[in-house]
Each structure stands twice: as C-alpha cells, then as structure tokens.
C-alpha cells in the first residue's frame, strides 16, 4: 500500500518536465516562426504544468513532514519557490488563454507571457533544486 507521504515525490517531476519543455517549445517557436505547433505545444504544456503544479504543491503542503534546522531552512526556500512558480504559472496561463481567444494579439502582451513563462521555468527548476537538496543532502525519505 502506498503511504500518503509518497504522493508529493510521485507527482513532483511532472510540473518540472511540463513547464521546462513547454518553455523550450516556446523558445523554439521564436526561431522557427512557421512551426505553429511549437507554440500550441507550449500552450498545452503550460496549462498541464499549471494544473499539476497546483496539485503537487497541495500534496507537499498536506502530506510532507515538518523539518527543523538546516533542512527546515531549505524546505522554506523550496516552498517559497513553489509558491512563486504556481503564482507565475497561473498568471501566464490566464494571459495565454486570453491571447488564444483574441484575433488580433497584442505583441507586448505576448512578450509579457513569454517572459513570465521564462520566470516560471527558472522558478520551477530552482524549487526542484531545493527539493533535491532535501532528498539527497538531508536524506529526507521518498
């Protein structure tokens, strides 16, 4: 039987992969403008990553143990970047959904969405880095 403490480690890799590869797809679209599928893929990966990031953050809050000392400080940084990631992902998703419903898209809004997507990719990677530190440096159980 699976313990509830395993929910967070089982889910955590999905938002990291979805957001990172979604941003890479958007970056690829900058270089290959006629490949519209890259932008659409980035959009769908963004939406999927946002939904899974919210579930992953919830499992981290509900099902992980409290930590103290140096591990507690690392966990606080991990949680901070997780909240930043989710906030930026939600904002980016809302902007991208609005952009997809408009016929004439404002170029400045598209640039803002791209910049936020970049911030989200960096933030989710940073959160994953601190989560990895907890597991490997402080031997937190999986």
Summarised one tens digit per residue, pLDDT across range 34-84 is: 888 999 999 999 999 999 999 999 998 988 878 888 888 999 999 999 999
Summarised one tens digit per residue, pLDDT across range 71-88 is: 889 999 999 999 999 999
Sequence-separated contacts (24+) of 26-31 with Cβ below 8 Å: 26/114, 26/117, 30/114
**Alpha-carbon span 23 to 41, nearest angstrom:** 9
Summarised one tens digit per residue, pLDDT across range 102-117 is: 888 888 999 999 999 9
Q: What is the pTM of this model?
A: 0.91
**Alpha-carbon span 26 to 28, nearest angstrom:** 5
């Amino acid at each position: 039987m699976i313990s509830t403490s395993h929910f967070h480690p089982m889910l955590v890799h999905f938002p990291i992969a979805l957001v990172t590869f979604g941003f890479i797809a958007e970056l690829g679209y900058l270089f290959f403008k006629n490949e519209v599928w890259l932008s659409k893929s980035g959009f769908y990966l963004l939406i999927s990553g946002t939904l899974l990031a919210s579930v992953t953050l919830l499992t981290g809050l509900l099902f992980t143990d409290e930590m103290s000392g140096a591990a507690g400080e690392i966990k606080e940084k991990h949680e901070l970047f997780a909240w930043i990631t989710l906030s930026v992902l939600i904002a980016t998703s809302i902007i991208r959904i609005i952009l997809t419903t408009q016929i004439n898209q404002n170029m400045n809004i598209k640039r803002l969405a791209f910049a936020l997507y970049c911030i989200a990719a960096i933030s989710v990677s940073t959160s994953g880095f601190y989560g990895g530190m907890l597991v490997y440096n402080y031997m937190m159980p999986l």
